[in-house]
Chain A
Amino acid sequence: DTEVTQTPKHLVMGMTNKKSLKCEQHMGHRAMYWYKQKAKKPPELMFVYSYEKLSINESVPSRFSPECPNSSLLNLHLHALQPEDSALYLCASSPGQGYFSSGNTIYFGEGSWLTVV
């Protein structure tokens, strides 16, 4: 089973709202990621968690706040977003952070479509 589950599938929020995106994996992976993807463009890395600790923050605005409650869950809290933040938000996981090989591969969820109005 190589499944990463994301909820909700679609989210529409106003610029003053607070909402959260959720991600879950049960593969025992210790690295989890948030990516942002605009239409027909490659994913852009936002955050990396390794062993439940924030490892990489790609200078993401503070209106995006990640949280890793445990090794299986990853949240992305959203507050005061802008319309340009509308995108597909992808969660991913891998056995470990770092050297990606045949044995350490990133698996992506189906994504959460976010529209900011």
Chain B
Amino acid sequence: TQLLEQSPQFLSIQEGENLTVYCNSSSVFSSLQWYRQEPGEGPVLLVTVVTGGEVKKLKRLTFQFGDARKDSSLHITAAQTGDTGLYLCAGYNAGGTSYGKLTFGQGTILTVHP
């Protein structure tokens, strides 16, 4: 069974602060996706990373895939109240019985206070 450990589970910060969310696993993933979900809405895809060591930037968000493709991080610079939501990492392993299944982390609930 593949597991993705996501941390922290809860994060409460002031507007303007920086933060990092981590996803770690003992398993290798072929690709990893990050989603953001607001209350009452479905998850919205932020990024997909596929190459070990890959870094992708989306405005104030920076995503990194570990060299060994076992871990990933999401860094937000100068957080805004609009960043509030549930952040989910989801990994995919192309082998065996995992075909077509994403492994989700437990999620990080981010609250940015004005």
Contact = CB atoms under 8 A, between A and B. Distances in A.
Interface residues of B, number: 26
B101 A102 contact: no
Interface residues of A, number: 30
Nearest to A45: B101
Given A40-B86, A42-B88, A42-B106, A101 B48 contact: yes
Interface of A: 2, 4, 6, 31, 40-43, 45, 48, 50, 55-56, 88, 90, 92, 97-102, 105-111, 113
Contacts of B30: 99-101
B43 interface: yes
16 contacts: A2-B45, A4-B42, A6-B42, A31-B100, A40-B107, A42-B105, A42-B106, A43-B104, A92-B42, A98-B94, A99-B31, A100-B31, A100-B92, A101-B50, A106-B102, A108-B35
A108 B33 contact: no
Given A98-B100, A100-B92, A101-B50, 14 more contacts: A41-B107, A42-B88, A42-B106, A43-B43, A99-B94, A100-B30, A100-B31, A101-B30, A101-B31, A101-B48, A102-B50, A106-B102, A107-B45, A108-B45
